[in-house]
Amino acid sequence: TGGLSLKPRDGMCGMKVDMGGAAGLLGGFFAAVDMRVQKKVTLILCLAENAIGPDAFRHDDILTMYSGKTVEINNTDAEGRLVLGDGVAHATKNIPKLDLVVDMATLTGAQSVATGKKHAAILCNQAELETRVGQAGMHSGDLCYPILYAPELLLDEFKSEVADMKNSVKDRGNAQTSCAGHFIEAHLHPDYQGGWIHVDMAGPAVHGERST
């Protein structure tokens, strides 16, 4: 629904597909098990029910994330990045010998503007990972394309006077999809030295009135 940042009536219809990232990773995890992949793979599902009610979070709330960073809420319809931030923080703190983190979500409507409705947007902290993910997408048919990686330029979009950061950007015209990914990246454990891949597949998650 968008929570207290309430979506318009038509904007709520079909939002059941907004769990596409979690569903895709769950399917990928099952496939890895069926293929008996000889690597340790851990699945963390980051789920949120974002509705209006007495327990709904509010604008101007300040949340303390699992990473220890504080977040000022300026858009309750940007809830996915909050649970994803906690997910990557949990993974990088508690999973031993972790060398790769992949998070995937239908995170931003701006993704379709950035890379279209057939290609997911990928944001990686290593150039080599961009190549690997692109090749994997060509092989599997789940197409993807890299977007701007520039946390040193974009994290200022979340600047807050009362917390470490806000949860939504100030300027929606400034690489919004990259910004949303960098928000999640900001909650990786500071000692984590491995790879990170963020996949925003809001466009490719939907075909007509059905999810893919």
Catalytic residue among 16, 58, 69, 81: 81
Q: Which of 7, 69, 117, 132 is catalytic?
A: 7
Q: Which of 193, 166, 202 is nearest to 182 (CA)?
A: 166
Closest CA to 187 of 45, 50, 89, 99: 89
Catalytic status, residue 9:
no
How long a stretch of residues is the chain? Answer: 212
What spatial distance separates the first Cα and last Cα of the chain, rounded to whole Å?
21
Cβ-count burial 114-140 (b if 16+ within 10 Å, e if not): bbeeebbbbbbbeeebbeebbeebeee
Decide if 182 contacts 202 (C-beta within 8 A).
no
19 neighbors 72 (Cβ within 8 angstroms): no
| Residue 81 designated active-site | yes
Torsion angle of the four alpha carbons 1, 5, 150, 165, in this order, in degrees rounded to the nearest 10: -120
H runs (alpha helix) in 58-164: 80-94, 110-115, 127-140, 151-154
Residues with a known catalytic role: 7, 81
